[in-house]
Chains A and B, each alone.
Chain A
Amino acid sequence: MLSEHNWVLSVGTFLPLVGVIIMLFLPKADEALTKAVGIITAAATLAVGVFTLIQFDYGRAGEMQFVANHEWISVIKSSYFIGLDGISLPLYFLSMVITLLVMIYSWDHVPSPGNPKAFFILMLVLQTGMAGTFISRDLILFFVFFELVLLPMYFMIGVWGGENRQYASLKFFLYTMFGSALMLVAFLALFFKTGAESFSIPFLIENGLNISRTTQIWIFGGMFVGFAVKVPMFPFHTWLPDAHTQAPTQGSVILAAILLKLGTYGFVRIAIPILPEAAKAWAPYIGALAVIGIIYGALGCLAQTDMKRLIAFSSVAHMGYVMLGISTLTSFGMNAAMFGMVAHGLITGMLFFVAGSVKERYHTLEIKRLSGMLLQIPKLGWIMGFCAMASLGLPGLAGFWGEFPAILSAYQPADGLPVEVFRAYMVIAAIGTVFAAGYLLWLFQRTAFGEPTAEFSPGHGHDEDIHDVNKFEWLAWSPLLIAIVVFGVYPQLMFKVLDPAVGVTLKAFGG
């Protein structure tokens, strides 16, 4: 064991469930109390997260730390095996931050039909699932957490969602389930192919090499579908716009900031290190789908008339950059991808927050009807402009460091990958940045500039609703806004944590 503090991960992961149990016994009517307990739980969880951050040995970011390994389901040789390294740490911590901020935001933004008790409980359960996924070192454990995330999100969309919530939630659930099924089978195949001894990831990394190349490719295929649905990669993305559009603001933020990363994280942590041969065989195709996603997602954005749906489609494009970085199988690209995941979480999470607040004020997100937001709600308008700039990859803000190095990495993919093909991807991805500028600034120009449309101009019955950023919003947003600037100005803060861990992950490629 590396550290005597190996309890921190378990506590950090399961503390939200303690809050859930307490909340179950609270009266439903006392909304303030339940909300307070929820927020305190999330804050306590984050405090554990901060402690983890402090205790983490950055000199050995490449190694697993806080490792705990206990017997769990011995029948199928699965164990409770957890640990944290430089790849997991940013995402693990981000999930805690996002959950707390979302809950603070929910203080006065509980979506209809109300019932904050259930809503807060779901968010806490979600938090356990997300954190658990990022620390699992055992495939069955990973799978359990991975699936645990599904249910709360399903209910969040299905109960607190928009008009078309039933369709969206079902689609989200089934689509992900479908991917998970294939993924589980792939896990099982991996288990049997390595002698049915263990589900532990380090064990599988060691023994995965012995599997024949063809079999590796098939197993990778199963995992690919599972993770690609989650990312989501073209053409498995169609659940995303619906889920995002229909989900309540909180759901959209968590979905964008963390849930999508479960897929990319799966590639980096499981699929690629365990099955390096297959990864090489698949990489050009993953890269192709990634760049298709970049352009296609951008085109999808340009066709939208709804602000939230536009932001949802932009996720397809942005995750394309992440996947492009991963598909190069170089640590350069992988670092960029990991950075891009966090940056996208911060920026797109923020954009969904803004969209939620716009909806609350104008009761619509139709771009045509919104105009002159900068005149009516200047602060919110400028925050939106800031996020749009961050999202389109302006240097000096976090988005750039995920995007540009990913493009750069495609110039020289890992040995054995077709160089010319990846260089073509590089150019296409670079063209994608122009599209990103197009749809984001176009959105900003149409909604924020100009004069307010007649129906929302003062004296038309909306004056009460249309107010600028309130204090809960400031509280929830400022950490994200600050993080976008800090990581943009000093990206080394994250790269130095990621780099060693990525190096270890890619050992099989000689990188």
Chain B
Amino acid sequence: MLAAATEMTETVLSSGWFLENAWIIPIIPAISFALIIFFGKRMPKKGSEFGVASMLGALVFSAGAAYQWIQRVNGAAEGAYIAPIVKTWTWWQNDGVSLGIGQHVDGLTVTILLVVAFISSLVQIYSLEYLRGDRRYTHFFASLTLFSAGMLNMVVAENMIQLILGWEIMGLCSFMLIGHWWEEGANSRAALKAFFTTRTGDIGLLTGTAVLYFAANDWTTKTLGVSGFSIRGLSSWALSGDPSSAAITVGAVALFIAAIGKSGQFPLHTWLPDAMAGPTPVSSLLHSSTMVVAGVFLVARVYPVFFEGLDILGSGANFIVIIGGITIVIAALLAFVQTDIKKVLAYSTVSQLGYMMMGLGAGAWLPAVFHIFTHAFFKACLFLGAGSISHSSSHHSFEMKKDMGGLRKFMPITFTTWIISTLALCGVFPFSGFFSKDEIIDNVGHNGYNVFMIVGLTGAFLTAAYMTRATYLTFFGSPRGASAGEHHEEEGHGAHASHDDHAHDTHGHDAHASHDDHASHGPHESGWLITAPLIILATLALSSGFLNAAPFGHSWENFKKWVEPSAEVINPTGIAYVTGGAGEARISSDEPTEPVVGEEAQSGAPLAAASGEEDHSSEEGHHKSDCGTKTPVDGVCVAPQLNHAPFKWSKAGLSMLIVFAGMLSSWILCVQLYERKNKKLVGLTERNKALGAGYKFLVNKYYLDALYENVIVRSIAHPIARGAYWINQNILDGIVNGAGTSAKTVAGWVYRNVDQKLVDGAVNGSGNAAQAAGGALQPVQSGKVNMYGALLFGSAAIGALILVIINT
């Protein structure tokens, strides 16, 4: 798709129908969702046809938009500012603040649109087979389709509110999808946990948006004529020198907290592995290209806010880079102690998201975005591969130790695609992960975050090691449990026993009625609806890295050219706001930027062909604009000037060595541990106290879940809530009831002592009046109301009268 567009065209900065109308893309699945809900059950394919058709439609539109964007970039001078195509319609108006809904389409937008629509399409096709016969087949497709609509809407969002809309729709759908088989308590709890954890992060999203809006709105309205919610407004504002450091820092930190929740960063990553309770296609979609990428996307989207707010490049560490770095390592370590293949992949996702965040935090914007792109393909492929194994070979079990092993013989396609994706994930040259992950690590170091470069390399080692372990347990060694299934010649006594155990299981979390017929078959390859997506994804896992193959020189860095925003100073009128009508495609035609553009065009191309060293110096010398470092005087910036580390084979070779070391050591360990049952190694964690403690610490997931669930949630849900309720019932209500009772007592006393004895006659009149008024209520309340009423009314009146008097 993208490859077709690489040919250069000599047109002026162009636009096109798909670019102008990218806002339609999320609407297609949204309409399809409504169709599935209302008519799905009556359709021959139970609504899945709407889902698949809408995703393919969205894919066509996204591909069209991507193609036209590439045309637009290729038609412009190199390094020139390419205006995003912004459109807006009034969504709501409040106190003169008019908020639009519309689109903000630039390189980042089209990239993620394409990835989301593509992965969603494949996942839906895969689900046709995987979920066949499921009791909530129609619901499943409805949720899946709405989910994609939410993500696509978030990606095209013109402003923060629209972004929040998509963000929260995804939260809702993840709740429904993770809890798809909600008959099981564990599944519904996982769903609740996912929603609740991300919602905790959303405190940051709401407050961050509010803070930034109020801080930016005056400036954006005056300078650009857009509100302080606008993505472009916020980006330009952040680099304008207008923000007070407090406001922008608070805003950036708050937004990043939201990203922590959504993108499963430490310490809010705990929902992500639990979310594996959902059907495998859901895991694949949520954890490759959508849900969890939302947080990363948010940071990439309004990057200047984080760049300025957290002083990226200004110091050796910041909030984002630290959280990202921690996440890489802690998640990778957890992946070692998992026996469930999906959980290994889940922690792997957490760890890879850590890379993206670390990259963004260290100023490696482009490698991070490129990593979103490549990661989507290979991670989706790995998840779907795990689903394929469970679907066809292991009785819906995901237990690697119990029910897998030796599957390479039975599932050649699944095995091959798995290996390709694993190599991509590990970052082996020339698979796609190499081009993105290695760039992140390289740039993190280049930008002065040396500690985090080492963290990244450590992560690479760990990734290679745990993926080797998972691959070994799944595809190599001897088949165990369900995988050994009907193959008596390979089945030992122990395996038999474990198989029996499994038969008593409630079919794990992926059980669904119609698939019981597989129980009689042995492990076998899945059908084409499952393998076709695997093959397509594996192909991309292998090849997508070449879109930005820095090692081969500047001319290969197409992704950079198409996606990275130019850090030029532009005249605010140069990006005049386009309302409703045709989005005007314009390179800033205003004078001030012209010379800069020219210089770019002259210096960019020849230098690119030169060696990395020179390229590097050119960046430091000519290329650099002042955006992000100095306040622009004439005009505004939309992106900070970032550095790019020159590619060096020596550095790449080092990280390759580290990866191979990880693979090799892990392989040897696995063979010793699982195949040879080396006595020195087996049971080591039980014999060695220190190792045992470490193992226990990992198995218990650093006790974070225990902290959240047993301490924080439980204390709020139980003692604190009960305490508050006790106060409510006994103190607040006690006062009310006490007032009533004491009023009655006082009334009784007054009646007996004062009324009867002293002023009997005087009050008879008023008493009768109250009696008469209360008479109406007599049948129900047997006369209590009038007394209470008269008393309360009277005392209130007296009190109020005093107020009036003392204020006269």
Chain A positions near chain B (C-beta within 8 angstroms): 154-155, 158-159, 166, 169-171, 173-175, 177-178, 181-182, 185-186, 188-189, 192, 214-215, 218, 221-222, 235, 237-239, 296, 299-304, 330-332, 335-336, 372, 374-375, 389, 394-396, 400-401, 404-405, 407-408, 411-412, 426-427, 430-431, 433-435, 437-438, 441-442, 445, 448-451, 490-492, 495-496, 499, 502-503, 511
Contact = CB atoms under 8 A, between A and B. Distances in A.
A335 B211 contact: no
B807 A181 contact: no
Given A218-B803, A434-B199, A449 B179 contact: yes
B172 interface: yes
B93 A495 contact: yes
Given A173-B785, A185-B803, A437-B195, A299 B214 contact: no
B24 interface: no
Contacts of A499: 93-95
Contact of B792 (A174, A238, A301, A450): A174
Interface in B163-222: 164-165, 167-169, 171-172, 175, 179, 182-185, 188-189, 191-192, 195-196, 199-200, 202-203, 206-207, 209-211, 213-214
Given A185-B800, A300-B721, A374 B97 contact: no
Interface stretch (B655-663, B680-688, B724-732): B724-732
Nearest to A442: B192
B191 A445 contact: yes
Main secondary structure of the interface of A (DSSP, over half): helix
B725 A222 contact: no
Given A170-B788, A331-B95, A222 B800 contact: yes
Contacts of A215: 807
B781 A170 contact: yes
A53 B561 CA distance: 55
A441 B202 contact: no
Interface in B283-312: none
Contacts of A175: 736
Contact of A336 (B94, B716, B732): B94
Nearest to A395: B165
19 contacts: A158-B781, A159-B780, A166-B780, A170-B785, A186-B800, A218-B807, A238-B728, A238-B733, A239-B736, A300-B728, A303-B722, A331-B94, A396-B168, A407-B206, A408-B206, A408-B213, A426-B210, A433-B206, A448-B182
A221 B740 CA distance: 22
A503 B214 CA distance: 20
B38 interface: no
Contacts of A222: 800, 803
A434 B206 CA distance: 11
A434 B202 CA distance: 8
Given A302-B717, A426-B207, A332 B94 contact: yes
**3 smallest beta-carbon distances between A and B, as pairs:** A185-B800, A181-B796, A303-B725
Contact of A170 (B171, B213, B784, B801): B784
Contacts of B777: 154
Contacts of A492: 90-93
Interface in B86-102: 90-95, 97
* Residue in B95, B184, B780, B804 whose Cβ sees the most chain A Cβ within 10 Å: B95
Interface in B783-808: 784-785, 788-789, 792-793, 796-797, 799-801, 803-804, 807
B720 interface: yes
B789 A174 contact: yes
A433 B804 CA distance: 41
Contacts of A395: 161, 164-165, 167-169
A210 to B, nearest CB: 14
Contact of B203 (A192, A331, A336, A431): A431
A237 B713 CA distance: 26
B506 to A, nearest CB: 12
Contacts of A408: 206, 209-210, 213
A335 B716 contact: no
Interface of B: 90-95, 97, 161, 164-165, 167-169, 171-172, 175, 179, 182-185, 188-189, 191-192, 195-196, 199-200, 202-203, 206-207, 209-211, 213-214, 713, 716-717, 720-722, 724-725, 728, 732-733, 736, 740, 777, 780-781, 784-785, 788-789, 792-793, 796-797, 799-801, 803-804, 807
Contacts, number: 194
B720 to A, nearest CB: 6
A394 B172 contact: yes
Contacts of A502: 95
B35 to A, nearest CB: 15
Contact of A430 (B206, B721, B803): B206
Nearest to A491: B92
A304 B97 CA distance: 40
Contacts of B167: 395
Contact of B183 (A154, A237, A449): A449
Contact of A396 (B95, B169, B195, B209): B169
* Residue in B184, B195, B801 whose Cβ sees the most chain A Cβ within 10 Å: B195
Nearest to B188: A449
A192 B263 CA distance: 62
A299 B720 contact: yes
Nearest to B722: A303
Contacts of B169: 394-396
B728 A445 contact: no
A299 B210 contact: no
Contacts of B788: 170, 174
B507 to A, nearest CB: 15
B159 to A, nearest CB: 12
B740 to A, nearest CB: 7
A286 B184 CA distance: 45
Contacts of A495: 92-94
Nearest to B201: A434
B735 to A, nearest CB: 8
Given A426-B207, A441-B196, A450-B182, A177 B793 contact: yes
Contacts of A169: 780-781
A189 B168 CA distance: 49
Contacts of B188: 445, 449-450
B92 to A, nearest CB: 4
A383 to B, nearest CB: 13
A496 B804 CA distance: 40
Nearest to A503: B95
B18 to A, nearest CB: 25
A450 B187 CA distance: 9
A366 to B, nearest CB: 16
B40 to A, nearest CB: 13
A449 B188 CA distance: 7
Contacts of A407: 206-207, 210
Given A441-B192, A451-B183, 11 more contacts: A181-B796, A185-B797, A186-B800, A188-B804, A238-B733, A407-B206, A431-B203, A438-B717, A450-B182, A491-B91, A496-B93
Contacts of B93: 492, 495-496, 499
A181 B793 contact: yes
Contacts of B213: 408, 411
B206 A404 contact: yes
A222 B172 CA distance: 43
A492 B91 CA distance: 6
A300 B725 contact: yes
A439 to B, nearest CB: 9
Contact of B94 (A221, A405, A434): A405
A302 B203 contact: no
B94 A185 contact: no
B426 to A, nearest CB: 37
Contacts of B717: 302, 438, 442
A238 B732 contact: yes
Nearest to B803: A218
Contacts of B168: 394-396, 400
A336 B97 CA distance: 12
B745 to A, nearest CB: 16
Contacts of A491: 91-92
